[in-house]
Chains A and B, each alone.
Chain A
């Protein structure tokens, strides 16, 4: 299957959650390669085209009137690197031609304002829609139902012979939804190890009943964290 309906939410294998005509994605980490390069790892530019394609697929399929980037649109903490500036500009240009965009501030999004202003794209700390709170999740968030990113959740699977795979996944409960990272280079937190969780909200409210939906060729339902932990 490609999508799963959860009340008013639609989880999709395009790494997005859809509510009515709003699409929500998180953690693009544009410019990650540039940061690694400055560290001495000569990673060729890679993410931009893939991210554009992924975003384009979401827009084509769901025709949202609003696209929310739920934090960590770009990667660098400090001053914008040249590559980052160019790529953020290119992607915002690409998106704003197709739909309205809202940026939610993540922990990597310092100095984003300058670029966003050019495209008249608002940046906010959080956004509320029909009593659903959307925030990046690196800080505490108040709300009955919250959608966060930040965590880059992934499911680590091992079979009987020892084969190992990591799959990006959604975590879902009535109160909290965690989005997978859109960046193809993001490494993820193993959802079955709560001691590794990063987001304060997830740490606090993660309960064993959270459901896991992994993205491979479509969405794969992996039951709840509690049950998974027993068999993995």
Chain B
């Protein structure tokens, strides 16, 4: 059973279970227990699994470790510590591992200094960076507490000798569970844990630490796996929060761009000046760089006191920034996502979110980085730069203050991750398929794995798609389909597993700079290859014109007012969550109704805690849109207009980006099929556009209405994705994870360009030989369920079918205010006619006509 912990133990009750040395040390150092400690320590002591969510500065680490350290000290006193691992700590970040090591060593040192205890409690870190010498040391004398990452855990599971030291682990602590549960690293870890536990006689206690996330019960199930109990301690609400939305200017429409950025940096500077240390979050790495650059160059006293921190910077640079933050040497640090997780960065008294964080959960995690102590207030300011952002953030802030979080999405049955573990399992021993299936299904993300999927995967891993003579080469495992047994094949499986395990794909290779050498972002190689001078494309929410290419980089100029001419199918942007989108839809209806009756300003100021000018800006924006139509939770709006020789069908479907990614392609596919044309799509959080040349026929209103049908949505989406660059790109990731493309093989490392080329060849071949090839099946699943949100797209369309939501279609001469962003900076892609021969004939005709016109 998964339930919330209800017993809050007193100091005395907790002290009574502690050994005297720890009791005295704790009394002297802290005096009293913090709330998470009161709920957790005793329960862990009693052998219960527990998931803890509590704010920074609430003694989280000791909540998790105290009970285990207590037991270890008891053994140490008696001289009974054995040469094995008692505590396994796993976190997604290497940086966090070092923090934890330090945070454990210090209390132990203090206790050992005070008392005369014979045996030492050994703590060691093991990651990809651990030297061979250190690993040998750990082999000779196993640490009692092992600190590691999910990837290193998967590797030591298969280490012939070291894995034996893992057989009697008593406590497993998973830190930052929320950062793992919603992605494939989490799937990977969940399987590692079940494989680990399978080899143990006694089930270890599982302890999870997580940021606020919803629903906690799902995260708890993820932590403990299927069929185990877990208690949840959620004290994340303990810390007070002061959250406000602010705009740098009074008028977000007509203020010229240069004035807006002038005012923005002025505002940031004022905020930084008034606080001791400010942490600014932007949504992209390029924005991070831009903000640092402008603040440094505008305000000389910030020179040397402001730094960037993001994933593209080298490890040394990041470490030095973290170090300087801790020492209080920096006034401000600007980050994209890298500082969201709990690395120790010292005292932060203000968090600024530049632009919408797109989900309430993320907003709370980011703001939670401020106020180091439990009694302090977390202070957050969301700075908005346009009107869509303003509306979104005003709703988001209210949801955050009221603690309504968006739901987490845990991926299910990822076959590529499973493929790695099957190889790992096969190296270990011979398995009966049913026995293996039982272990796999214990992992929460695989609780419903169909046996036929596993069989198909085994079939593929055994290389059985090849003729008999070639299986030796392709097969990574041996599989007997009749007896349903599998095991190791050959000597290559082990090195392949060691060198290629993991879930994070290599990054794309081509960097994008402006001509004056400012970093903008990255694009995929196949995209860069097909760029032609003058092409305009969207990258990270801005439009750029391609100028020229250089060595592994391309150069562009910003073209903020131009429409994209070439689709860029990758998006660095954070997606707006479905739940928050629903709330904004409701908000739109409320505002519209109130404006009809008079004014909404007073209501907004009161209900949403914003000042008058912000409220007026919202009212103004809605009034303009009311000349067209204000789409909301009960009525959606489809807008048709022509612009620059193209027809636009703009669907105002406020259902979050992931659901719009799915819906836009489904509708586009239905249109391409009927009208025999290729279309472009542009997608944002708030809706999408389907775009095609004006000379093609108009699409009648009845047909647009008929698009809203739940029939075959999944199939239509899969058809829309066929042969797209997006599919190929995801396939590369899946093929790498499935060990079909080996990044490391026979001592060679495959470059990203090669990976890309080889994956595209593999894609072609696999598509031709077997549509149900596991890697292909997983690619579609990943796109439909993880990258996109097919379920909510279906749910939304079903509401329309049932008449719960109405559709209004209007022709207009110019785009409505709500569609500006969709048209200008929506992430773009193309959906092609299904009949490729027909399509090529059309393209041929087009080219020949253009050539004729030239004469």
Q: Does B474 contact A42, Cβ atoms closer than 8 Å?
A: yes
Question: In the bound complex, do residue A185 and residue B764 qualify as a contact, i.e. CB atoms below 8 Å apart?
Answer: yes
* Cβ contact within 8 Å between B741 and A40: yes
Find out whether the CB atom of A43 lies under 8 angstroms from the CB atom of B840. Answer: no
CB <8 Å contact, A158 and B754: no
Whether the Cβ atoms of A230 and B467 lie closer than 8 Å is no
Chain B residues 797-844 with CB under 8 Å of chain A are: 828, 830, 832, 836-837, 839-844
B840 touches A216 (CB 8 A): yes
In the complex, the answer to whether A41 meets B837 with C-beta atoms within 8 Å is no
Q: Which positions 143-159 of chain A face chain B at CB distance < 8 Å?
A: 156-159
Chain A residue at smallest Cβ distance from B766? A44
B433 in the interface, Cβ–Cβ < 8 Å?
A: no
Partner of A162, one of B467, B680, B740: B680
Residues of A within 8 A of B719 (CB): none
Report yes or no: A42 in contact with B742, Cβ–Cβ below 8 A.
yes
Interface digits, B725-759 against A, CB 8 Å rule (1 contact, 0 not)? 00000000000000111111110101000100111
Q: Is B846 an interface residue (CB 8 A)?
A: yes
Closest chain A CB from B529 CB (angstroms): 8
Q: Does A217 contact B (CB under 8 A)?
A: yes
The docked-state distance in angstroms from the alpha carbon of A39 to that of B742 is 8
Most chain-B CB neighbours within 10 Å: which of A42, A165, A222, A230?
Answer: A42
Known: A39-B758, A44-B474. A161 touches B745 (CB 8 A): no
B482 in the interface (beta carbon within 8 A): no
Task: Evaluate contact between A165 and B840: CB separation under 8 angstroms.
Answer: yes
Write out the residue numbers on chain B whose beta carbons fall within 8 Å of the beta carbon of A216: 837, 840-841, 844
- Contact of B693 with A167 in the complex, beta carbons under 8 Å: no
**In whole angstroms, how far apart are the Cα atoms of A71 and B571 in the complex?**
43
**A residues near B646, Cβ cutoff 8 Å:** 160
Kindly state the separation between the CA atoms of A185 and B767 in the bound complex, as whole angstroms.
Answer: 13
With A39-B745, A43-B765, A45-B466 as contacts: A158 and B530 at CB distance below 8 Å: yes
Which of A41, A214, A232: most chain B Cβ within 10 A?
A: A41
- The answer to the question of A175 belonging to the interface, with a C-beta cut-off of 8 Å to chain B, is no
Tell me how far the C-beta of A20 lies from the nearest C-beta in chain B, rounded to whole angstroms: 30
Stretch at the interface among B86-94, B404-412, B847-855: B847-855
How close is A124's CB to chain B, nearest CB, in angstroms? 31
Would you call A164 an interface residue if the criterion is a C-beta within 8 Å of the partner chain's C-beta atoms?
A: yes
Instruction: State whether the Cβ of A52 lies closer than 8 Å to any Cβ in chain B.
Output: no
CB A2 to nearest CB in B, in angstroms, measures: 14
Q: Which residues of B contact A230 (CB under 8 A)?
A: 851, 854
A77 contacts the other chain (Cβ, under 8 Å)?
A: no
Closest to A83 in B: B470
> In the complex, what residues of B have CB within 8 A of residue A232's CB?
532, 847
Are A43 and B744 touching (Cβ within 8 A)?
no
Is the Cβ of B474 less than 8 Å from the Cβ of A162? no
With CB as the reference atom, state the residue of chain B lying closest to A50.
Answer: B768
Question: Given the complex of chains A and B, what is the CA–CA distance between A163 and B847 in angstroms?
Answer: 13
A62 in contact (CB, < 8 A):
no
Question: What residue of chain A has the Cβ atom nearest to residue B844's Cβ?
Answer: A220
By a CB distance below 8 angstroms, the chain A residues around B210 are: none
Closest chain-B Cβ to A188's Cβ sits at a distance in Å of: 12
| Complex contact B680–A45 (CB within 8 A) | no
Contacts of A44 in B (CB 8 A): 465-466, 474, 765-766, 769
Interface string of A26-47 (1 = CB under 8 A from B): 0000000100111111111110
- Residue of A156, A162, A184, A231 contacting most chain B CB atoms (<10 Å): A162
Contact A231 B837 (CB under 8 A): no
**Contact yes or no, A46 B742, CB < 8 A:** no
The answer to whether A228 and B474 touch (CB under 8 A), given A43-B758, A220-B840, is no
Task: Determine if A125 is an interface residue (Cβ-Cβ < 8 Å).
Answer: no
Cβ of B692 within 8 Å of any chain A Cβ, yes or no, is yes
Q: Mark A175-215, 1 if CB is under 8 A from B, else 0.
A: 00000000011010000000000000000000000000010
Interface size class of A (residues with CB under 8 A): 35 or more
In the complex, the answer to whether B678 meets A161 with C-beta atoms within 8 Å is: yes
Q: Are B465 and A36 in contact (CB under 8 A)?
A: no
- The answer to whether A165 touches B854, judged by C-beta atoms less than 8 angstroms apart, is no
User: Does A223 touch B at the CB level, under 8 Å?
Assistant: yes
Tell me if B567 counts as interface (CB < 8 A to partner A): yes
Instruction: Check B766–A159 contact: CB distance below 8 A.
Output: no
Contacts of A139 in B (CB 8 A): none
> Does A227 count as interface, using CB distance less than 8 angstroms?
yes
> Which B residues lie within 8 Å of A185 (CB)?
761, 764-765
* Choice from A41, A220, A231 contacting B762 with Cβ under 8 Å: A41
B7 at the interface (CB under 8 A from A): no
Cross-chain contact of B748 among A39, A157, A158, A223 (Cβ < 8 A): A39
For residue B479, give the distance in angstroms from its CB to the closest CB of chain A.
Answer: 16
Flag B676-706 by CB within 8 Å of A: 1 or 0 each.
Answer: 0011100000000001110000000000000
Given the complex of chains A and B, what is the CA–CA distance between A131 and B748 in angstroms? 48
List of A residues within 8 angstroms of B709 by Cβ: none
Is B565 in contact with chain A by the CB < 8 A criterion?
yes
Cβ A41 vs Cβ B761 within 8 A: yes
Which residues from A are CB-within-8-Å of B850?
Answer: 231
Instruction: List the B side residues contacting A187 at CB < 8 Å.
Output: 757
A194 to B532 Cα, complex, angstroms: 14
Residues of A within 8 A of B740 (CB): 41-42
- Contact between A46 and B839, CB atoms less than 8 A apart: no
Interface residues of A in 33-80 (CB under 8 A from B): 33, 36-46
For A37, A164, A165, A220, the residue with the greatest tally of chain B CB atoms inside 10 Å of its CB is A164
A157 to B845 alpha-carbon distance, docked (Å): 12
Q: How far is the CB of B806 from chain A (nearest CB, A)?
A: 30
CB pair B530–A45 under 8 Å, yes or no, is: no
Residues in chain B near residue A36, CB distance under 8 A: 758, 761
- A159–B846 touching, CB < 8 Å: yes
Using A163-B830, A216-B837, A220-B840 as known contacts, say yes or no to A42 and B566 having CB atoms under 8 A apart.
Answer: no
Residues of A within 8 A of B748 (CB): 39-40
Residues of A close to B504: CB separation below 8 A: none
A66 to B473, CA, bound (A): 37
Establish whether residues A39 and B754, one from each chain, have CB atoms under 8 Å apart when the complex forms.
yes
User: What is the distance, in angstroms, from A39's C-beta to the closest C-beta of chain B?
Assistant: 6
Enumerate B627-657 residues with CB–CB distance to A below 8 Å.
646
Verify B530–A164 contact, CB threshold 8 A.
Answer: yes
Chain A nearest CB from B846 CB (Å) reads 6
Contact assessment for A161 and B680 in the assembled complex, using a CB-CB cutoff below 8 Å: yes
Nearest chain-B residue to A231 (Cβ)?
A: B850
Task: Tell me the nearest residue of chain B to A159, going by C-beta.
Answer: B843
Contact A222–B844 (Cβ < 8 Å): yes
A164 to B680, CA, bound (A): 12
In the bound complex, how far is the Cα of B851 from the Cα of A228, in angstroms?
7
A231-B565 Cα distance, complex, nearest whole Å: 15
Which B residues lie within 8 Å of A184 (CB)? 764
Q: Given A43-B762, A44-B465, does the pair A157, B847 have CB atoms closer than 8 Å?
A: yes
A98 → B minimal CB distance (Å)? 24
A156 to B744, CA, bound (A): 33
- Interchain nearest-CB distance for A66 vs B (Å): 31
CB under 8 Å from chain A, chain B span 452-479: 465-467, 470, 473-474
Are A163 and B678 in touch, CB under 8 angstroms? yes
* B750: chain A residues within 8 A (beta carbon): 39-41
Are A157's CB and B843's CB within 8 A? yes
Known: A44-B765, A231-B854. 14 other contacts (CB 8 A): A39-B748, A39-B754, A40-B741, A41-B740, A41-B758, A42-B742, A46-B769, A159-B842, A161-B830, A162-B828, A164-B830, A185-B761, A222-B848, A227-B854
Question: What 5 A-B pairs have minimum CB-CB distances, sorted nearest first?
Answer: A40-B745, A40-B742, A41-B758, A161-B680, A163-B678
Instruction: Give residues in B with beta carbon < 8 Å to A.
Output: 465-467, 470, 473-474, 530, 532, 565-567, 646, 678-680, 691-693, 739-746, 748, 750, 754, 757-759, 761-762, 764-766, 768-769, 828, 830, 832, 836-837, 839-844, 846-848, 850-851, 854
A-B pairs with beta carbons under 8 Å apart, 29 shown: A33-B765, A37-B473, A39-B745, A39-B758, A40-B745, A40-B746, A40-B750, A41-B754, A41-B761, A41-B762, A42-B740, A42-B741, A43-B762, A44-B466, A158-B530, A159-B842, A159-B846, A162-B565, A167-B840, A185-B761, A187-B757, A216-B837, A216-B840, A217-B840, A220-B840, A222-B844, A223-B851, A228-B847, A228-B851
